[in-house]
Structures are given as C-alpha cells and as structure tokens.
Amino acid sequence: MNSLTNNDYDFDTKIDSLGKQCIDSPLDKHLPHDDNIFISDDNSILIDVNYSNLKNRLKQKKEILAFEMAGPREKIFYDPSKVKCAIVTCGGLCPGLNDIIRAIVLELYFAYGVRNIIGIKYGFEGFIAKYKHGLVDLSPKIVESINALGGTMLGSSRERQDISTIVDTLERLNIGILFIVGGDGTMAAANEIAKEILERKIKISVIGIPKTIDNDIFMVSRSFGFDTAVELAAKAIQSAHAEAIGYFNGIGLIKLMGRHSGFIASAAALAQQDVNFVLIPEVDFDLDGKNGLFEKIKKRLLKRKHAVIVAAEGAGRKFFNENPNDLKKNDIGIFLKHKISDFFAKEKIRINMKYIDPSYLIRSVPANSNDHIFCSSLGRDAVHAGMAGKTRLIIGYRNDQFVHIPMEICVGKRKEVNPNSKLWIRVLESTGQGLLRSN
C-alpha cells in the first residue's frame, strides 16, 4: 500500500472494550509453547512506515499513530463455558467466506472451549422475524469441509435492516459475541449496531471481518478473496489473449470486478502480461481523438493484428449521463463492446471481438491456497478480539501484520489506485498504453 500523506490519518485508533478482562485465557493450556504467546494491548503497528512522513509528523509535533496488534490476550472478558457466539455473512459472494466461518468456529471450539455457536441465515434478514429464517447450530463437524466450497454456507443478502430490531434480536438470543462478515455497507451497519449496543449499555462484542473482493478497504493492505480473484482473472486474460491472436484483428475484451477501484484489473494485467489496455475508475480516458482508446486500438491492430483490453466494471462512468453509478444498468463491458465494433465498422476495418465477463465465476469459487491461509488468520484473530471483550473493530491487515482497526475509521471511505503509484506505473509500462486522452 502506498504511504499516506501527513494529513491523511489524524484519527483516533483507540479500541472500545466492554469491560475489564479478568479471566485467564485457556490458550495457555491448550497450545504447547516455550515463549509467551500472548499479545499486549501496548503492541502496536505503525500506520505509516515511510521514514520521511514520520520525520515530518514529528517535526509538526503530530502524534505517530499506530493500530493495536491483533492476537490472543492473556486475560479475556468472556467465560468460554457461558458465552454464546453468532456469525453472519452479508453482501455479495467472495472466495473465502466459508474459510472465515470455519476458522471462527474451530478457534472458538478447540482453542477456547466455546460450545454455543450459531449461524444467522441470509445476512441481516436472519435477525428479522418476518423472514422466518432459522438459525444454524455450528460445530466442527458442520464446518469441517466447507472450505472446499464456494459461497457461504450461511447464505447472504444485501438488503439493509432496522438496526434497533437487530439489537433486540441479539438480546433475545443472549448473544455475547457477534462476528459480522461483509463489505463497506455491511461494516457501516455493523458500526451502527455496535454503537447502539454501547448506548444501551449491554455486553455484546461486535467484531467485523471486512469482505471486498475489490481490495478497496480503507487502511487495509489486503482483503480476503483478492488473491483468488486475481488468479482467476489472469486465467480469463489468458483465454482472451488466445482468442485474440487466433483471429485476424482479434480483440479480447474482459470486464473485471472493481466498482470504485482498479486493483483487480491492475494486478491481473501484471500477473498475465498479455494486456494492451487497462481501464480503471481512478484514471480517466477518452474514446475519440488522436490519443483516445479507439485510435490506440486501431494502431495496435495495424501493427500486431490483435489487442487485449481489460476494463474494471466502474471504469468510464463519464460516458453514462443518467445514473452513472448504476453499474447494473450501465455495463462498461457491453458499452465498449458495441462502441468499439461501431468505430471499426465506420472505419471499414474488419475485427473479431470476443467479450468475456468472468465476474460471477470468480466470486463464487472456493478460495485458493493463499486465501485459505489468510482467512484462517483473520477468523482466528477475530475470535481473540471478541473473547477479550473488544468491540466495534475490524480485523485488518496492514504493514504485514493483523491489527485492530476501529470501524469508524473505515466506514464511508475506500482505498483507490493512485495514478502516480508504482502499481499503476508498472501497468503502464507493461501495456505501453500511455495516456488515453484526446487532449
């Protein structure tokens, strides 16, 4: 992740707690070890490790901020024999959801001895009586093989539900720790749930595991599912390239995920360096004009007889006058397919267009090996935070460490590809596309 400027991170990194931790952690007995395995709340990870930025902050007499390190605490808040835990998954599908569920259940059951674990069906709908979704009793036997499956065994939904009703249900169910897995909208709702719980002065810990295949969570270096997405997106590019070179003036056009950020498109293009043009939301481009996309494709075809184009789904929103953010209605992939075909028809140049949209294939597959490992760590650190009575936080990954990040810091913000970053410069170097601007 790129270093932040000095003014980018003036916020409170303190983590909320439900009360004093006074119960000895059972991990000291369950895990063989020679050294101390426990993490102190004083262990912190610097938010910005850029030396110049740190010097400037010190010079300006600004605090050097850090996130609390995730991991097991020596003293915990909840009695494992009495606490009841719940897991809910919300939003779109993403590789690794079942891995997260499995890791949470296994850590609760085997490391802490928690026996009362339930799953909430179909996202936040599961808290609302009118939907009549049942609960799922979760145990090691139930979750032992779910990591081999795509999707989520608990089901999901995108719809927002009434916060007070959700908290009422949590109270009725006598939940002690709620693990919420979801994207930006879900984490915003999780923050509201946690705030209402604190306002009511009830003892329920809310732990968020942020989910976005687009890898656009603010302050988080990597989100689960991203590694799998890039791997499969690279295979789609490989197929598009094979199709393109297989025909005279072949054009392979691939639309990838990335509503607000182009991390998947950029990383996949670098992973499979057969791409000639990468279009992302953060970088403007024109279709017409001397240096516009159409003329650049034309030059490419005249010289090499084939071209491969990758477009993130949020790219080119300026071309849609009505509701530019409605990506279901305004499909950049279909739009480009027709516009490119129309341009070459007017130029009387024969082309062979192959359009590939692997989005749902990528979203619904099981996680790859790297994401299996990553999800296991996320889930287990979420359990450590919850059992310690911490709340209103997400488990994030920053500067090669898992950390506790206050929910409020991430809500309503997104990480984006910096057009001046090494990532985007490498994309430009590998494609040779240059600036796709008419002026």
Q: Which residues are catalytic?
A: 214
> Residue 315 and residue 437: Cα distance in Å, rounded?
14
For 293, the token pair is 């996309």
142-165 burial code (b ≥16 CB/10 A, e <16): bbeebbeebbbbbbbbeeebebee
- CA dist 289 and 292 (Å) reads 5
3-state secondary structure 201-260: CCCCEEEEEECCCCCCECCCCCCCCHHHHHHHHHHHHHHHHHHHHCCCCEEEEEEECCCC
3-state SS assignment for residue 120: strand
User: What's the token pair of residue 134?
Assistant: 């049942």
d(CA 203, CA 185): 24
Q: What is the DSSP letter of 129?
A: G
Distance CA(199)–CA(166), nearest Å, equals 14
Tell me the CA distances in angstroms from 154 to 38, 358, 430, one per residue in order.
Answer: 32, 24, 41
Write the burial class of residue 26 (CB in 10 Å: 0-12 exposed, 13-18 middle, 19+ buried). middle
| Partners of 136 in the β-ladder | 119
